[in-house]
Amino acid sequence: MHLANNNRRRRLLSLALSGTVFLGMETGRAAAQEPGDAAIGHMLGQKWCSSCHVIDSTQQMGASTGAPSFFAIARMKSITRLSLRVFLQTPHQRMPDLHLTRGEVDDLSAYILSLRGK
Ligand code: HEC
């Protein structure tokens, strides 16, 4: 009786623990339904993309590389989360391969898509 009780308590404890780990992984992403954090994407864009792309409305100078602005990209009908992911994870002739992590790709995509309609 005593033993059984102990076992049960241990099972409950390990269940509770695994629940905590699961919750810990989910928070941060849970608030936004879509993966990626647009605010982080904005920062990454300023760092890595703004030398060629106009990435927000405070940026005065466009680059002369012929790169479309992020606003223009967001307006394109062909642009989806998936197409952005594919584009950003494959090397391109006129755009350097930036070796972005999956998380960075998600953040940048979230930022670009957040410009839709702006
Ligand atoms: C060295 C300049 C350069 C940098 C840096 C750069 N890009 Fe580009 N990007 C370009 C050019 C040029 C094009 C147009 C490609 C073409 O027309 O072939 C382009 C196209 C794109 C497109 C595709 C639009 C379409 O037609 O589908 C996306 C999305 C994009 N860039 C995102 C980014 C992001 C995000 C970053 C930063 C992580 C970035 N770029 C950094 C030059 C650059």
Work out the percent of the chain whose per-residue pLDDT is above 70.
Answer: 69
pLDDT of residue 27: 47
pLDDT mean over 91-107:
85
pLDDT of residue 6: 63
In the reported structure, the alpha carbon of residue 38 is separated from the centroid of ligand 1 by a whole-number distance in angstroms of: 17
71 touches ligand 1 (CB under 6 Å) = no
pLDDT mean over 61-89:
88
Q: State the residue for tokens 């404890």.
A: 13
Confidence of residue 32 (pLDDT cuts 50, 70, 90): very low
108 touches ligand 1 (CB under 6 Å) = yes
Alpha-carbon distance of 45 to 82, in angstroms, equals 18
pLDDT of residue 78: 94
Alpha-carbon distance of 116 to 118, in angstroms, equals 6
113 touches ligand 1 (CB under 6 Å) = no
Which residue of 95, 100, 101, 112 sits with most ligand 1 atoms within 8 Å of its CB, as the best mutation to test the pocket?
95
Q: What angle do CA 16, 18, 20 make, to 5 degrees?
A: 70
pLDDT mean over 109-113:
96
What are 59's two structure tokens?
Answer: 């940026």
